[in-house]
Amino acid sequence: MSAVPIADFSNDTIWITIVKAVVILVFLLLSVLFAIWFERRLVARFQQRSGPNWNGPFGLLQSLADAMKLLLKEDITVKAADKVIYLIAPIISVFCAFMVFAVIPFGPEVSIFGVVTPLQMTDFPVAVLYILGITALGVYGIVLGGWASGSTYPLLGAVRSTAQIISYELAMSLALVSVFLWSGSMSTSQIVGSQENTWWAFTLLPAFVLYVISMVGETNRLPFDLPEAEGELVGGFHTEYSSMKFAWFFLAEYINMLNVSAVATTLFLGGYRAPFGIGLINDGMFDTGWWGVVWFLAKLWLIMAFFVWVRGTLLRFRYDQFMNFGWKVLIPAGLVTVVFYAVLKGLSTGPDPVLSFGGEFLTLEWRQLLLGVVGGLVVIAVLMLLFPGEDEEKPAKAGASARGGAAKVGAGRSATTSGTKRPGTDKPGRKRATEEPFDAFAGGFPVPPLPGQELPPSPRRARVTTPAAAPAASPAAGAGEDEK
């Protein structure tokens, strides 16, 4: 299996290319309109209501109506915005979102206007790397949009979004490395071509699961959509945008969903290949020509339905929960997957069972290597489980003052982990900042006492003891008690 693409573009003229580009753009726009309708209807069904059903048959024209409405709205530029970047950010987002579909194969070779051409705009030996790069560029749109809005909440929302996207991008890339290992190429048509016998979703099931989880995290969808949740930061990075600029952000998000679904289809679900059994009917009639588009779209919308299903079913993760999940679960899982599949591939296709590495000193057999790698992983896992957590690292007087200190920007390794690391197994023997009296205002703003801490007696208690003021003081004392 060579790394070069198997799709042959030698017959393409510039007109064919332009036709394909226009078709892809139209397809994407229509798909987004359809996806919005699809999501609203399906989520409504999950919630036992009917969704939009007023504009057009089955509510199909609802999203078109919404898009037209957005076009006709006033284009506001907020006063505090950085004008140039404020304008460019949504353009970057939507531009990068459109560009991914240029290398996605919709089908095998067909004849368009008499020219035999594959149903794909272009392909090169590093197509998936191009996709990953363009997706990473799209993150610029988010962070610049939030920063250029000139107010703190969009900036915070943008930064949180970005941090989440890049964390899950790592897990996604690791899952994709397994696919590159087994298909021997990064070209999309070659990867589809290598899935003749089995789809990679079955051979590389852990990688597929990893990819599906990280693709939900990458697109800021539930259960990972805290940066966009309504109650948290209003709209996140697109709070200050209106009309078409907002529409472009919205469009970019949905096209990103389509992008990752298309990548999942191409890399894991066999792309435009017909499912098993159907491909055998009539000497593979259903696996040629325009039929590929049918299978591709079916798989794409299957994954989109999965997105909507997950949105309708799962609860939202808290931000620190899903960052922990991304870094501490997905990335080690990804690394283990890559190592495992690399060794497996070496075992299955390695030419020599015994290869010398380093001349006289080191001669390794594949079996020994597998043993060594698995043994090493087991040792690491045992070490990590055996050694206690880092609670004793931070200074013992963590409780009050450090929580106040955490509010300050850049307080280094602020010590609030001493409480949150293992909330269930809070050791009662550890000193819990009971050495000095709890000072609620230590950090500059009032914080409530943690369990085990007590407030010092209120200074207003002194007023209660004067007998002359006792009848008048008791309502005052009562009020003081309430306010304490």
Partner 1 sequence: MTNPFIPILVMAALALLMAIGGVAASAVIGPKRYNKVKVDAYECGIQPSPHAMGMGRFPIKYYLVAMTFIIFDIEVVFMYPWAVAFTELAMFGLIAMLGFLFLITVPFIYEWRRGGLDWD
Partner 2 sequence: MFVAPHIEWAALSPVLILLGAAVIGVLVEAFVPRGSRRLVQVVVAALALGGALVAVTWRWTVVQQDGPSSLVAGALREDAPALLFQAILLILALLALLVIADRARGEDAFTPTASAIPGSEYEGQARRAGLAQTEVFPLTMFAVTGMLVFPAAADLLTMFIALEVLSLPLYLLAGMARRRRLVSQEASLKYFLLGAFSSAFFLMGLALLYGYAGSVHLADIATAVPLVSGMDGLLLAGSALVIIGLLFKVGAVPFHSWTPDVYQGAPTPITGFMAACTKVAAFAALLRFVYVVTPGLGWDLAPFLWIVAILTMVVGTVLAIVQTDMKRTLAYSSVAHAGFLLLGIIALDERGISGILVYLLAYGLATVGAFALVTLVRTKDAEGNLVGEAGHLSEWAGLGRRSPVLAVCFALFLLSFAGIPLTAGFTGKFAVFGAAVAGGDWPLVVIAVLASAAAAFFYVRIIVLMFFTEPATGEDGSATTVVRSEGLTAVAVVVCAVGTVLVGVVPTAVLAVAAQASKFLL
The residues that touch partner 2, with contacts defined as CB under 8 A, are 357-359, 361-362, 383, 387, 392-397, 401-402, 405, 410-415
3/116 with CB nearer partner 2? 3
> Which of 181, 305, 344, 464 contacts partner 1 by CB under 8 A?
181
What residues does 119 pair with on adjacent strands? 107
Q: Is the peptide bond before 227 cis (omega within 30 degrees of 0)?
A: no
Stretch that binds partner 1, among 218-226, 338-346, 396-404, 468-476 (CB under 8 A): 338-346
Q: How far is CA 255 from the centre of its chain?
A: 14
396, interface contact from partner 1, partner 2, none, CB < 5-8 Å by kind:
partner 2
The token pair at 342 is 């690399």
Give the whole-angstrom CA distance, residue 104 versus residue 122. 8
- DSSP class of residue 449 equals P
From partner 2, partner 1, none, interface partner of 294 (C-beta below 5 to 8 A by class): none
Retrieve residue 78's tokens.
Answer: 């907020």
CB burial of 177-200 (b: ≥16 within 10 Å; e: otherwise) equals bbbbbbbebbbbbbbbbbbeeebb
C-beta atoms surrounding 245 within 10 Å: 23
| Residue 22, contacted partner among partner 2, partner 1, none, CB below 5-8 A by kind | partner 1
Peptide bond into 223 cis (omega under 30): yes
- Count of C-beta atoms within a 10 Å radius of residue 24: 17
Cβ proximity to partner 2: between 113 and 361 the closer is 361
Nearest to 272 by CA among 160, 110, 476: 110
Q: Is 17 in the site for partner 1 (CB under 8 A)?
A: yes
CB of 476 to partner 1, least distance (A): 32
Q: Which residue has the tokens 């990335």?
A: 331
* Number of residues lying near partner 1 (CB under 8 A): 108
Residue type, 410: G
Report whether 322 contacts 217 (CB < 8 A): yes
Site for partner 1 in 231-270 (CB under 8 A): 234, 239-240, 243-245, 247-248
Q: Which does 361 bind (CB under 5 to 8 A by kind): partner 2, partner 1, none?
A: partner 2
Rounded distance, CA 141 to CA 241, Å?
13
Q: Whose CA is closest to 266, among 201, 348, 178, 358?
A: 201
Runs of H (alpha helix) within 350-458? 366-386, 399-405, 417-420
Supply the minimum distance, in Å, between the C-beta of residue 335 and partner 2.
16
Which of 54/357 has CB closer to partner 2?
Answer: 357
Residue 431 backbone zone (phi > 0: left; psi -120 to 50: alpha; other: beta): beta
User: Measured from the CB of residue 451, what is the shortest distance to partner 2 in angstroms?
Assistant: 22
Nearest to 40 by CA among 386, 311, 400: 311
Which lies closer to partner 1 via its Cβ, residue 417 or residue 453? Answer: 417
Q: Does 65 bind partner 1 (CB under 8 A)?
A: no
Residue matched to tokens 């590389």: 204
Site for partner 1 in 86-145 (CB under 8 A): 87, 90-91, 94-95, 98-99, 102, 121-124, 129-130
The stretch near partner 1 (CB under 8 A) out of 169-177, 263-271, 397-405, 442-450 is 169-177
Closer of 60 and 396 to partner 2 (Cβ): 396
54 contacts which partner out of partner 2, partner 1, none, CB within 5 to 8 A by kind?
Answer: none
Q: Which does 397 bind (CB under 5 to 8 A by kind): partner 2, partner 1, none?
A: partner 2
Cβ closest to partner 1, residue 405 vs residue 480 = 405
Q: What does 359 bind: partner 2, partner 1, none (CB cut-off 5 to 8 Å by kind)?
A: partner 2
Q: How many residues does the chain have?
A: 484
- Nearest residue (CB) to partner 1, 447 versus 473: 447
Q: How far apart are CA 128 and CA 190, in angstroms?
A: 11
Q: Between 200 and 229, how does the x/- string for binding to partner 1 read (CB under 8 A)?
A: ------------------------------
DSSP secondary structure letters along 185-232: ---HHHHHHTTSSS-HHHHTHHHHHHHHHHHHHHTT-TTS-GGG-HHH
324 binds partner 1 (CB under 8 A): yes
> Taking contact as CB under 8 A, which single stretch among the options 17-25, 201-209, 257-265, 433-441 is the one that binds partner 1?
17-25
Cα 121 to Cα 119: distance, rounded to the nearest angstrom? 7
Q: Work out whether 180 is an interface residue with partner 1 (CB under 8 A).
A: yes
Window 394 to 423, contacts with partner 1 (CB under 8 A)? 409-410, 413, 416-417, 420-421
| 357 phi-psi bin (left φ>0, alpha ψ -120 to 50, beta other) | beta
Least distance in Å: CB of 394 to partner 2?
Answer: 8
Smallest distance, partner 2 to C-beta of residue 342, A: 16
Q: How many CA atoms lie within 13 A of 180 on its CB side?
A: 17
| In the complex, least distance from residue 164 CB atom to partner 2, rounded to whole angstroms | 24
Please report, as residue ranges, which positions from 360 to 399 form the binding site for partner 1 (by CB under 8 A): 364, 366, 369, 373, 376, 380, 384, 387, 390, 393
In the list partner 2, partner 1, none, the entry touching 349 (Cβ below 5 to 8 angstroms by class) is partner 1
